[in-house]
Structure 1
Amino acid sequence: MITGISLKEIATYDRDGAEFQDLKKINFIYGTNGSGKTTISNFLSDTKQNKYAQCRITWQNALPLRTLVYNKDFREKNFGNGQIDGVFTLGQATKEEIEEIEAKVKIRQQHKQDWENRKETHDKKVSELAIHEEDFRETVWRDIYKKNEGTFKDAFSGFMTKENFKKKILEEYASSARTLKTREVLTEKANTIFGQPPTALNLLGTFDPEKIIALENDPIWQKKIIGKADVNIAQLIQRLNMNDWVNTGREFLEETGDTCPFCQQNTITSNFRDQLESYFDQTFLTDTAKVGEQAASYQRETQNLLAILNQITVTEEQNAGRKLDLTLFKAYVHTFSTQILSNQEQLNNKIKEPSRSIELISVKVQLENISNLITAANDEINKHNQIVVNFARERQELVADIWRLLIDDHQAMLKQFVDQKANLEKAIKGIETTVRTAKQNYHTVKQEIINLSDNVTSVQPSINKINKTLRAFGFRNFEIVPSPEKNKYQIKRQDGEIAETTLSEGEITFITFLYFLQLCKGGLSEQTITEDRILIVDDPISSLDSNVLYVVSSLVKEIIKDIKKGSGSIKQLILLTHNTYFHKEVSFIDGRTKDCADTAFWILRKNSSQSELQAHGRKNPIQTAYQLLWKELQNRQHSSPLTLQNTMRRIIEHYFKILGKLGDDQIIQQFEDQDDQQICRSLLCWINDGSHTIPDDLFVEQPEDVTERYFEVFKKIFEHSRHQEHYLMMMGEPS
């Protein structure tokens, strides 16, 4: 694969030149005429010419591959003398084989005539069936739908087009076995059930208060945590009740050394330290640690529960159909919140003074009250949802009964249609069998002729493929035929005239491109057929009609797909073109793929008679005029208000007026609110005035926020007309 191309001191490339780096499997190079595209294709066609002495080509792993170049030189070389080289070589036929082919041709003609006759009969029956279907579709729409939509329109939901309604009525005719009810009964029931249905409600979340209750009842809160009593200093500490005070003070001994943190004298001896350590023993440390852990657990559990309850409050405040007694619920939650704040203060005191005995306020009653409210609300929600379920079932039963009534009212008409359709389909199926047989006979003999023709001349397989493509895309007034000269092609009209000098430039271009595609898949000898190769295609749509442009782009896209999949012998494509429409068409794969690691885009420009190269990586730089208008809006902060007025006008005209066939009044009517309609009308006047007239000084000096206010109305036009997704896509905003 080619990974780099350097062009210097040739044609429009100066001493600095241009260099393609990191070429991919698929490479699109856009450039206007004269920008240097042909120089690239000519260089790649024959890199050894002296004039390309300063140009270089870099191969992946330094392994060159066979390079096939399609450009103007290729067309002139292969179609300049009326004869075209064959793509590959096969054996020669004997006299007996030629006679056998001639006999097969006659048989093939007979099978073709038989196939055409049977196909004509088949098409007539198919057309008759289509007319029968169309008449029936119009009849049921007129006699059933229109006459019943006033009373039973809700029953037709999902089937309000002629085709869907026809399919539904036939489906019900074939399967309905319900008990028939009178029109009067169904009409009365429809007046009750058809309307705005109730919607299901979500259950409220429940909680388990046991863990919080267990934490509140932990005996550690009432336990007085003090030091060991059999230590010398214990009697004084406990008599003065300064257990917590000494415990706090001993934390400073590590910093003061022998100096007492209280009297500032050097009274701290090792013996005193030992007595302190003995007094505040492991039991003391374990209990104080438990106080901290349980206090943290209590805070975590209560805060988590409070967050859940607050969320229920917020959700239910916005729920118009709530079943929860929200006033009482909020009161209980507030009390619960106050209680846990008081308890938290108690816990903090216990942590600071372990010798203190505390008793927490019990939140059990409040949590039971809250839980009871939630349970009661969920019971009501379940009852409501059961009503919703029953309502849906009743509505479903009513719809089925209505269809049963309609079937009974039109039983004779439906039976006549179904019976006649069955007869026509049976006849068509029988004829299809004979058509397939006649077609298979034709193709069998045709394939036998092709197989035998492979031995008549070396070029017949490629002839067949090129002619097949020509016919497939509507070129039927000429074809490729073997030349009297061995392994050569000729172009012949239907009347037998050799078309060497009468083909148009576009026809020659198209034929040479088809020949090039065959050459890409084959070779001029059997030895080169399976070689890996690289394709260089330079403006294959030159002189072609616009409809053929689609054909060429379709053929190129098939090659691109094969390259990406790694199938076939073509390993890389470099496509050069000056046609922006062809560039967009051939580089477009589908509407979802944004970029591809196997694809690269480049632009060639001519600046002061010298070619300049711009690399765009995976991003396609060629955009339509409509896309560029939206790009202006994306960058509106850097554009003048006058430019934006014209831009918004052109977008509205293209999307709503040209494509959507909507006038100004129809656009304005998309807004339901009258004030919004006036704002929209103001916008349309503003952008039309700003894009068609020269504004006076007063207009020019309007505040900049005017533009943004009108831009918001421009956005709302798409929202109110239900085209918001198009707006978001074109503005590059997430949907």
Structure 2
Amino acid sequence: MNQLEIKLNSYPDRFSENSLNLTITNKINYLYGKNGTGKSTIAKTICDQHYDKYNILLFTGFERVVGENERLDAIALGTENTEIQKEIEIVSKEINEIYSEIDPPETGKQNLFSKLNVAIKNLQKHEKLLNEFYTNAARDIKNKKYDNVNIAPPSYNKENFINELLNASILTPEEIKTNSETLSSIEKYATKTFTVTNTKLDSLLNNINEILNSKVSQRILLKELEENIRKQNFAKEGFEIHEHKVDEICSFCGNQITDERWNQLANYFNDEVKKFELNIDQNINLCISNIEILKKTELIEKDNFLKQYAANIDKLNLKIKYSLSQYELFYSKLVESLKNKKRNLFEKSPKLEIEIQEDFSSIISEYETIIQENNEFSKNLNKEQEIAKNKLRYNEIQNSLNGINYTNTLNEIEKLKFIKNGLQDSFDQKKTQLNSKITIKNELILKTKDEKKIANQINKLLRQMGVGSFALELIENDIEGQKGQYKIKGHNNEIRPITNLSQGEKNIIAFLYFLLSIENPENNQKPKIIILDDPMTSNDDTMQYLMIGEIQKFSRKLNDSDFLLIFTHNVHFYLNVRPNTAIKYKINGEDKSHYIKFGNYHLFSNGTHTTIKKIENGKHDFITNYEMLWKELIFLFESDEPNLMLNVCRKISETFMHFTKKGVEAFYGDNLSAKKLFDVNQHSLDDFDAEQNGKTKFEIIDILKSLFKENNATDHFENYFKVK
């Protein structure tokens, strides 16, 4: 006998200790349990523990078998197609999200495309203004003239301007003037030498000081003139201005000058005086002569030089003028001192202390340097004019840049470039992602399978059961090549939107596909475990009976090496999916009951742990939903869960009132506290926040029993509530 061991030891927090090991010995098994009692956990455990020896086929609803294709407004049929369709839908959504960023947005909305477009336009606007500036500035510089000479060639354009930006440099007004003059200059070679008489002033000054330090000694003594320089000079001057003749009258005293007086004065002012005076006069004449020579000295003619040296020549001429004036002043002081000495021959004069003027050597050297530079410049005039043009042009470039605050303009453009490049990178990344997603989608589409045969069988079964509300219609020649996609055709042969397909309709399509696909040869390589995990999700009677009928037909064809486990929370489904429990079966020549032939299990929860009970005979089973409530109440009573018993008591009371047509007041009578008690916690079994009622399980059962007694239904109570 085949048996299936299911070890639930990994879930001690969910299953009671006596339910941690479940052994399935029947080929076909029916397991009933409310939601939350661990049905899906058991199914998952079977998959985890027996995948190596068995081909496990699990049905958990339409989600894994029927997928929605929003692009085609169709369904994807088949487990693989559905799984692939889920991936396709995810990728398609991602593709659409990318398109929503990189395609032009709706009016008034923003996305990556619009932000990039704005950034590009802002950058282009600023770059256009900058390029216009380059063009206009280049044109202005091309037409700019200094001294009627162009500073740029006729071909000068924007590119030339941009290439010279790094050379931009402002010139001073003086530099502009100099370079401008260079442009209009013609070759001039200066050859005239500057000449000036150079006198050794120190020797001359020494000679004059010797004269000043000398005096004339008298041969005879005139008492009236003795030791009186003023009188001596007065007498000498009188001697010189009067004539030695008879009857010559003295201009001072008015007396006649006698011969004796003439002889006395002649002896007093002798030849030594004359010789001394002659020496003085000669030196005076020398100084005056030098002054006259200096006055005739010609200044440097600047017209003999290039314009750019005119200022240098002017400066040099000022130096020459100054030096000449200083020379003249020097000689004039010498002349004045000699004249004073001539009037004071008979005593020593003070030494003359004056600064000796530098000679013209430095001026001549500077002049020769200017001549050399001028001539060299003339020799290289073409080259120098080109340099001058460049400097003036670079100056104009800098002026143009200053006019638009060029640095701030470049910074703004760099900022806009940074923004644009960041958005462009994001945009390019999105496009790369898009291409990758499209490739993934195409690869997924290639994996889809054509399920036309099974789809036709599903349509046939639906027609046989009288289901005309919908049928599957294959989509052929899909432009993306996707297979296994079906439109939903309504009863009027018009295509229905998949959004109008109910969960029950989706579920029956998925269920029929699941059963029909089991026959696929790929599933026959190993024994099979077929698990139907709560297959019934719809209250539609037609769908329920269609599903029940197909399960029963499938069960009859099941191989002995296979297992079928049907989990459900639906009492109606549990009761009707099974064969008639009263039928006897021949097993080894003996009549055996339904409970020997098939595995029947009930899963009860006490709120924290689930207990799995195998139903050995009919008296432990239930045949109605109402009977199931009593079974649950007994389980909770035996598990000592008084709080959870209240909700079941309420449902039992409501069901009893329903089929006896009694109202609340008639059923509860004066015992409204019982109704209040049963209504205290209308929670699910696993709601741990439920209020504690304070009643024991015995007190609760006594209250329920008293209600049935007051409604003349004590036998009814005792028939259902049978505990040890």
TM-score, L = length of structure 2: 0.32
Query: Highest Rg: 1 or 2?
Result: 2
TM-score, L = length of structure 1: 0.32
